[in-house]
Structure 1
Amino acid sequence: MISRDTIIALNAGAAAADTENPERFDLAFAAPDTAQDIAALEALLNIRIPDELRSLYQECGAFRHVHYDDSSSQTIALDAVGAVLERVRNPGDRWYGCHAGQGLVDFIYAKWGGRTDLEEILDEATVKLVNDNYTGFGCRYINDDVHDYWYFDRNGMFGNLRFDQDELHYNSWKIESLCDVLPPDDIVFDAAQRRAYILGEIAVFSEPKDTFPGMTLRELIDGQFASIVAEMSPEAD
């Protein structure tokens, strides 16, 4: 399980890497979420929240940088279940970051200020397939143009999708690639077989490495904080 101490220790590395403004990485934790709220969200999303993420919500509480997307530094935001429930139950206008769902494409739209540029590229079937099988739950702000979107799939595997608004067609191809690793509808698998099929399909692809599910939650979060530290290091300039 990922504890608060784990997150605090990882974040301390990010703050230490920013020698000029370490306060940009001030961290805030939400109150732990209840099993009832988690169950309510699962019912609304029609997807099971993986055990690793469930434990984080209940034992650690969601976390975010206080200055998320409010500075020149890379920052992270993982919303609490209660906040997500409120958005899903009361969807507002897209411009205000609300979408009636946490499916990955809808999640990107919501975090992207409600822009709908992808609708001109992705067909409805692709959007539905991705939204039904991949659920967004967290974000790393890299700069105004680039974000990392964290997601989990129906097999309980985690992944990261890097999205650059200046590379819409490349991003669309990555989103479409998520469909390519799903079992066809005419193949009926149980959960273990489905997971094995997807991992097998992923092994066939070499690029892009940040697109496909296959990580644990700990690997995803460790990697995100490590990327922040790497980007803040003098060698990155």
Structure 2
Amino acid sequence: MSRRKQIYEGKAKILYEGPEPGTLVQYFKDDATAFNNQKKGTVTGKGVINNRISEYIMTLLNEIGVPTHFIRRLNMREQLIKEVEIIPLEVVVRNVAAGSLSTRLGIPEGTQLPRSIVEFFYKADELNDPMVTEEHITAFGWASPQDIDDILALALRVNDFLVGLFLGVGIRLVDFKMEFGRLWQNDEMRIVLADEISPDNCRLWDIRTNEKLDKDRFRRDLGGTAEAYQEVARRLGILPEGGPRDMKGPEVMQ
């Protein structure tokens, strides 16, 4: 790893120069952060689990025609991705009231929302990622109206797919965060899903008990963060048991 050129280091991942032009290597760390990096820690094995979960979900999304930056997993902690121009927005889809939505609007956590709600946040750690509107996005040139239309359509399509995927293994998708990027090919541009999909950026509750199976366990000092991530991977059928092996299908919860 020391011989490779590091392109970027974030809170949970490192990007390295890829083996071919237009590619990057995405490395998943065990570092855990919350409250805009004010709380920091390490969750042993988190990077390995998130790499596998994100690979599994991105592969399924590619198969149903949702464009992503994912190419293939390289090893336990790394995957090969397409280099994209990241749009400086966090796109959050909410199905159930939780987190900042409950705080801002006074809606009790766990309340089913009347429909899925999409929110935009400007990616700026120094500003605590403020919530923004489509007016802000277009006025400041972060994305065009057509970009926003594409992002909204993709976000809701991904949400519909993930709600069904997780419901099938006894998990409620409360909300989740996505990032999108511009992929340039032969002077043509299209919006693609980037970053990752994992318990780091999804709120996942057990359908029967409402037990949290995501990073809220770290945020709220509930303990058992690594075990919760492993449980998500186990239910999806991608946690190696008895040594590395190929992925199998999800475990259907009765």
Task: Give yes or no for TM over 0.5.
Answer: no
Larger helix fraction of residues: 1
Larger strand fraction of residues: 2
Which TM-score band applies after superposition, normalised by the shorter structure? under 0.3
